[in-house]
Amino acid sequence: MAAIQYHGLLSVTMTDEEIFDELWRRLRECEDPDVVYAEGSFILHRWDGRTQEPPLLLYVNTAEISAAARIDEETHNALWPDTPLEHAGLNLFLANVDEVIRTRSHSGRRHIFISPHPVAVADSGPLHAYTPLNDAHFPD
């Protein structure tokens, strides 16, 4: 299926559910083989080879991760031109999550939400992973 141009973005060729499943696969294979999804979040006991105690909670649903995977053509071509569009979007999303985890002020900060706006990582409160083209976000 060819990608279709709409609103300045390329449409994804994967369904929302396939994108969600691909995120889950990547988290399981690259970060935590025991990752589970429960009550609206991925529960991660490991990240980048390090045990997370308490575990990280990555709050994301099918619609939000699908929106995050819809990056624009310019971003796609600049970062991962030889990668399918939705895979490039997931690459960018996971890079943002990794940055938030690595720059948090202390390991007790474990709640990670998707945000459509860049935010500074504060010393308290929830962490936000920036997704530049995502119109939806979780309230604080």
What does each of the 140 residues of the chain score in pLDDT, given as a tens digit? Answer: 333 333 344 445 889 999 999 999 999 999 999 999 999 999 999 999 999 888 988 988 999 888 888 888 888 888 888 888 899 989 988 988 888 888 876 767 788 887 665 444 444 555 555 554 333 333 33
Describe the chain by its helix, strand, coil percentages, rounded to 5: 35, 25, 40
Q: Which residues contact 47 (CB under 8 A, 6 or more apart)?
A: 31, 32, 56, 98, 101
d(CA 49, CA 40): 24
d(CA 123, CA 98): 17
